[in-house]
Amino acid sequence: MRTGQRQSRQGRWRGVRSTGRLARLQREFDPTAQLPLTVVVLPLDSRTTTSSVTATLALLMQATLPHPVVAVDADGMSQPLRKLLSSSGAGDLIGLAASHDASLKRARVIDYLDMAADVPLATCWLDGPGAIPPDSLRSAAWKLKRRFPSMIVDVPRGVPKSTIAVATALATHILLVGDPDDLGHGWLHEGKSILARSARRNAVTIAALGGTDAVRTQCAHGDIVPVPQLQSTGYRTGSVELPDDPDDLLAYAVLLRRVCASATVDGQPDDSPRG
């Protein structure tokens, strides 16, 4: 992360906190006291995109949490976080997964990341795109967590089911991004799947992209948070920034508060490599 950009975003966040609703939220929620997080972002349906929400939340996590944050792009083909987080083109997640040195030395982890992105970014080698195998994601995540205690993983449409399964098993909180006109998710609270177990301990949130507060109040499960659909208008074409509008920023702050709460109460899952 470039120091000037980090300071600018943190300054902007502090500046809008003085508005009434954000000031009340600040009194209730101090992100600097939170435990490390592993947030996994998935689509609720086959139409909704996840990556802009992931990138915005990653910026907010980096600006507010007390420990280093890394963003992980689980789509090794399209690599959508590269554009959204102003990637320099560096990064080699598969190389990180295979690196013996990175297993032994935490400092070597950053050799495989794009540290010039707006948030440190772990993604596939730009010249060798491809689906990320589940074992590679698991191994890379374990190494990343030793250097970056908090992580947010973007798992958009098209990621193999086996890789999705590994990602959800890593999560302290699962964020499902959905269309506000089609948020039916009663199935989420039934059965014995990872999602169902996480939902029962309030470790799943539905982000209603472009939704209003009405979709939140109408939800019987109390797990919907409406967030604005932000335009990509960063200093590089297609990148995202923290919103300037206090209401938009508040929506993402409320989302982060809910995400943080499950890590505070339930701790972290076992994300050590297996086999």
Q: Each residue of 4-33: pLDDT tens digit?
A: 444 444 444 444 444 566 666 666 677 777
User: Shortest CA distance to 71 belongs to which of 155, 160, 133, 163?
Assistant: 155
- The verdict on residue 271 lying in a domain is no
With cut-offs at 50, 70 and 90, classify the pLDDT of residue 236: low
What CATH number does the domain containing 73 carry? 3.40.50.300
More confident residue, 189 or 14: 189
* For residue 182, pLDDT beyond 80: no
Question: Which amino acid makes up residue 136?
Answer: S
Counted domains in the chain:
1
Measured CA to CA, the distance from residue 259 to residue 126 in angstroms comes to 31
Q: pLDDT at position 22, please? A: 62
Q: pLDDT at position 18, please? A: 42
pLDDT, mean over the chain: 82
Contact between 141 and 72 (Cβ < 8 Å): yes
* For residue 109, pLDDT beyond 50: yes
Q: How many CB atoms lie within 10 A of CB 135?
A: 15
Using DSSP, state whether 100 is helix, strand or coil: helix
Q: pLDDT at position 2, please? A: 46
- The verdict on residue 272 lying in a domain is no
Alpha-helical segments (H) within the chain: 3-16, 20-28, 51-64, 80-84, 93-98, 100-104, 134-147, 161-170, 194-200, 213-217, 246-266
Measured CA to CA, the distance from residue 234 to residue 248 in angstroms comes to 16
* For residue 243, pLDDT beyond 60: yes
Which own/partner contact pairs does 50-53 have at CB distance under 8 Å and 24+ positions apart? 50/154, 50/155, 50/156, 50/157, 50/177, 51/80, 51/81, 51/84, 51/154, 51/156, 52/84, 52/229, 52/230, 52/232, 52/240, 53/175, 53/177, 53/207, 53/209, 53/227
Using DSSP, state whether 222 is helix, strand or coil: coil
More confident residue, 31 or 235: 31
Domain that holds residue 215: 3-23+35-266
Average pLDDT over residues 105-130: 92
Q: pLDDT at position 6, please? A: 44
Summarize pLDDT for 67-98 with one digit per residue, the tens: 999 999 999 999 999 999 999 999 999 999 99
The length of the chain, given as a count of residues? 275
Asked which of 2-11, 54-63, 123-132 is least confident by mean pLDDT, the reply is: 2-11
Measured CA to CA, the distance from residue 65 to residue 48 in angstroms comes to 27
Q: pLDDT at position 232, please? A: 60
- The verdict on residue 30 lying in a domain is no
Biggest CA–CA distance in the chain, Å, is 51
Contact between 59 and 101 (Cβ < 8 Å): no
- The verdict on residue 274 lying in a domain is no
Please list, in sequence order, all residues whose beta carbon lies within 8 angstroms of the beta carbon of residue 73, skipping any fewer than 6 positions away: 79, 80, 81, 82, 93, 121, 122, 123, 124, 154
Measured CA to CA, the distance from residue 95 to residue 13 in angstroms comes to 35
- The verdict on residue 134 lying in a domain is yes
Measured CA to CA, the distance from residue 242 to residue 262 in angstroms comes to 23
- The verdict on residue 161 lying in a domain is yes
- The verdict on residue 275 lying in a domain is no
pTM of this structure: 0.85
- The verdict on residue 83 lying in a domain is yes
